[in-house]
Amino acid sequence: MPGLHLAGAYEVKKNVNVPVIGVGRIYPELGEWAIREGVADIIAMGRALIADPYLPNKAADGRLEDIVPCLSCWECLDGGIQAIVQTVIDPNSTSKGDLGCAVNPGAGNEADYRFSPASTPKRVVVVGGGPAGMEAARVSRLRGHDVTLIEKEAQLGGQLIPGSAPPHKEAISLLVEYFTTQLNKVGVKLELGKEATLDNISSAQPDAVVWAGGTTPVVPDIPGLDSSKVVFAADVLTGMVLVGDCVVIIGGDGTGCETAGFLADQGKKVTVVDILPQMMSKEGTIIQMRLFDELARKKVELLTGINYVGSSPEGPVIRTADGESRTLKADTYVLAAGARSNTELVTSLNAKFKGVYVIGDALEPRRIHDAISEGFETGRSI
């Protein structure tokens, strides 16, 4: 929760005669309020300043819409915690950990994250309005290029839209808001609700094309799965489809587990199954701990290391890691079995144009950090 420790700061303040500092998921307006109302004397921010080191200046100038929002996603703390653990194991360790930030790829590396105006302004077409495409468009435009961004959906955001739906992920929608404001402010031409094709890209006569078309979900071949009961996790999270009372989620990575928490909050009986021995193996330690704890509290059943061994009229038959044979009965099966890069137009774009850049999940499905980082790099090198 934003300001989660302010109530504690207030209690301390009532009992001491020294200034009290309020901390914990504080954004400028909340910090102002806390000081004005006497909840704390001073406000300290941590992660928010990693996300945007210019936050204090922007707040002082009243440019709140220009502040890059911290997602409170723990990408930064995971690196820091590794360093602390390393220091405990070896007190002589000089490891500084790997400070990362989902929204500020320059965190810890600020001197290298600069750009200068383009020597020759170019016409740039960016395909895809996810974080990779939006950052590429923003930076290219700031450098003086003429930039058009084509997005097939009616709104910007890409996977950030379903990504902001699970419990505790609301801050991701602030990132969509931030980019939408910035792209309009710097003058990127937005063509929303339009699918990019070789023809319409060519008619823009671009000098450079950025392909940031994201991913398409993997559909695993599972015997006994009734296709009329199968939906994709992203469609569940965006409310495009409804699910029955009893749900089996196929795939236990971050998306599968977060979708489980989202559906359990709606009172659904949820089971997550995965053929791998561990769920969420690509997530950081803190995120894993938080999600496992949340899913245990919400009584979501997690089955790892399963094998699909057959089918029955009621659903796929599996063998669990304990050797038990079970039928996966469900009203709805939610697919969260990974995604593969969408490279639909890449070959034909490469054949037709010289400057083609493939970035973000379209290059390899990964995370927001990689998408924004590659968007920035591309924007500054065109």
Ligand X SMILES: Cc1cc2nc3c(=O)[nH]c(=O)nc-3n(C[C@H](O)[C@H](O)[C@H](O)COP(=O)(O)OP(=O)(O)OC[C@H]3O[C@@H](n4cnc5c(N)ncnc54)[C@H](O)[C@@H]3O)c2cc1C
Q: Return the H-helix or E-strand segment holding 264.
A: helix 254-264
258/252 Cα distance (integer angstroms) = 9
- 361 belongs to the binding site for ligand X (CB under 6 A): yes
- 332 belongs to the binding site for ligand X (CB under 6 A): no
CB-nearer residue toward ligand X: 59 or 73: 73
CA contacts within 13 A on the Cβ side of 168: 13
171/206 Cα distance (integer angstroms) = 35
Compute the C-alpha angle 356/357/358, nearest 5°. Answer: 120
Strand stretches in the chain, DSSP E: 21-22, 42-43, 123-127, 146-151, 189-192, 208-211, 215-217, 230-232, 246-250, 269-273, 301-303, 307-312, 315-319, 325-327, 332-335, 339-341, 355-358
CB-nearer residue toward ligand X: 259 or 271: 259
Residues 140 to 179 in contact with ligand X, rule: CB under 6 A: 150-153, 158-160, 162-163
Query: Count residues contacting ligand X (CB under 6 A)?
Result: 38
- 371 belongs to the binding site for ligand X (CB under 6 A): yes
Pairing mode, if any, of strands 21-22 and 146-151?
unpaired
- Binding residue for ligand X, selected from 272, 273, 369, 376, defined by CB under 6 A: 369
Pairing mode, if any, of strands 325-327 and 315-319?
antiparallel
Q: Residues 6 or more apart from 210 whose CB is under 8 A from it?
A: 124, 125, 126, 127, 128, 133, 136, 137, 140, 356, 357, 359, 378, 382
- 102 belongs to the binding site for ligand X (CB under 6 A): yes
CB-nearer residue toward ligand X: 59 or 139: 139
- 29 belongs to the binding site for ligand X (CB under 6 A): no
Q: Kindly state the smallest distance separating residue 127's Cβ from ligand X, in Å.
A: 5
- 80 belongs to the binding site for ligand X (CB under 6 A): no
Task: Quickly tell me which residue has 């005669």 as its tokens.
Answer: 17
Q: Kindly state the smallest distance separating residue 360's Cβ from ligand X, in Å.
A: 2
Q: Kindly state the smallest distance separating residue 258's Cβ from ligand X, in Å.
A: 6
Residues 209 to 228 in contact with ligand X, rule: CB under 6 A: 212-215
- 373 belongs to the binding site for ligand X (CB under 6 A): no
Q: Kindly state the smallest distance separating residue 359's Cβ from ligand X, in Å.
A: 7
CB-nearer residue toward ligand X: 57 or 155: 155
Distance, CA of 72 to chain centre: 11
- Binding residue for ligand X, selected from 40, 234, 257, 300, defined by CB under 6 A: 234
Residues 114 to 133 in contact with ligand X, rule: CB under 6 A: 127-133
Footprint of ligand X on this chain (CB under 6 A)? 73, 102, 127-133, 150-153, 158-160, 162-163, 195-196, 212-215, 234, 237, 254-255, 258, 342, 360-362, 366-369, 371
